[in-house]
């Protein structure tokens, strides 16, 4: 990955993320964008781009400017996180003694419940929606089936290799964020469908599980397109994306009594905090049941 930044401290940090932390290119580009944006501001307004000369007041001034520009609290939080990681690395390198981010607080953001597709609508999708007997439609159906049955991320699915499917133990090995591996059980029917699918791949196909009719890897935008199209046939939820199938996987597990820790491991979350949002969906479902069933509700 080429790094166009001229700030040698940013370059060193991004190389650390790439080669030591093994972050994805997408994540590294996000860090790079945030850091270059801040240091351009520091250079323009304070005539410095040296990390050692940055103060808390400079950072607060930048954040205030972002707020005036109506940048969302979520985006501002990400930028603060990028700077905190950058300065944590500078502490580790001995460039600074105290981080200018020590007293910088992230703005609070309202937590939105993740959108998900109802179980009955998922049932309609896989049992009653017609798919043509073509390689393209077989791919579309199986992609959505695996997204829902395992909760894997779109990037994980696109890069999934045949060697990651363990037929004997009915499971798949997924390489997630930060190159962390996790094992996800898959029911026998889906495993069988995967085996049939991979055994009929084009002769020139790459080793990815899912490929086009020409044997090429799937394009993320292509997957987004057909998932949105098929979900539109069975649900009215506003968001219709591959990630909504991941949300549906987690929500349905929670609604049917799965332990929070187990869902955390299946999703590949690094902490329970990211998984706990699904408990809110469970509570909302209980409230709905109460409102419909209790005579005094």
**Active-site annotation, residues:** 153, 177, 243, 246, 269, 278
Helices (H), 133-241: 135-150, 154-158, 188-199, 220-234
Cα–Cα dist 114/239, whole Å: 9
**Per-residue tokens: 110:** 């309202």
CA atoms in the 13 A half-sphere facing the CB of 267: 28
C-beta neighbour count of 62 within 10 angstroms: 21
Cα–Cα dist 114/245, whole Å: 11
**Per-residue tokens: 291:** 């409102």
The span from the first CA to the last CA of the chain, in angstroms, equals 59
**Three-state DSSP string of 155-183:** HHHHCCEHHHEECCCCEEEEECHHHCEEE
**Tokens 């985006």 map to which residue?**
75
């Amino acid at each position: 990955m080429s790094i166009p930044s001229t700030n040698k401290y940013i370059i060193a940090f991004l190389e650390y993320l790439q080669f030591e932390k093994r972050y994805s290119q997408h994540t590294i580009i996000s860090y790079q964008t945030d850091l270059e944006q801040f240091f351009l501001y520091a250079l323009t307004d304070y005539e410095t781009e040296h990390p050692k000369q940055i103060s808390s007041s400079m950072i607060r001034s930048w954040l205030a400017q972002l707020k005036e520009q109506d940048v969302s609290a979520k985006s501002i939080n990400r930028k603060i996180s990028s700077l905190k990681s950058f300065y944590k690395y500078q502490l580790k390198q001995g460039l600074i003694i105290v981080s200018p981010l020590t007293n910088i607080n992230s703005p609070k953001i309202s937590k939105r419940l993740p959108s998900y597709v109802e179980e009955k609508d998922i049932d309609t999708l896989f049992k009653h929606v017609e798919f043509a007997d073509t390689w393209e439609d077989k791919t579309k159906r199986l992609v959505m089936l695996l997204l829902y049955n395992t909760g894997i991320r779109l990037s994980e699915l696109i890069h999934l290799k045949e060697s990651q499917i363990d037929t004997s133990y009915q499971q798949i090995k997924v390489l997630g964020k930060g190159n962390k591996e996790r094992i996800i059980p898959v029911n026998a029917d889906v495993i069988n469908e995967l085996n049939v699918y991979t055994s009929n791949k084009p002769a020139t196909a790459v080793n990815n599980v899912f490929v086009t009719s020409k044997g090429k890897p799937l394009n993320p935008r292509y997957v987004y397109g057909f998932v949105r199209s098929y979900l539109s046939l069975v649900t009215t939820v506003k968001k219709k994306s591959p990630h909504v199938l991941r949300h549906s996987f987690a929500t349905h597990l929670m609604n049917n009594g799965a332990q929070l820790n187990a869902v955390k491991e299946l999703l590949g979350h690094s902490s329970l905090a990211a998984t706990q949002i699904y408990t809110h969906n469970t509570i909302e479902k209980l409230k709905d049941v109460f409102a419909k069933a209790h005579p005094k509700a």
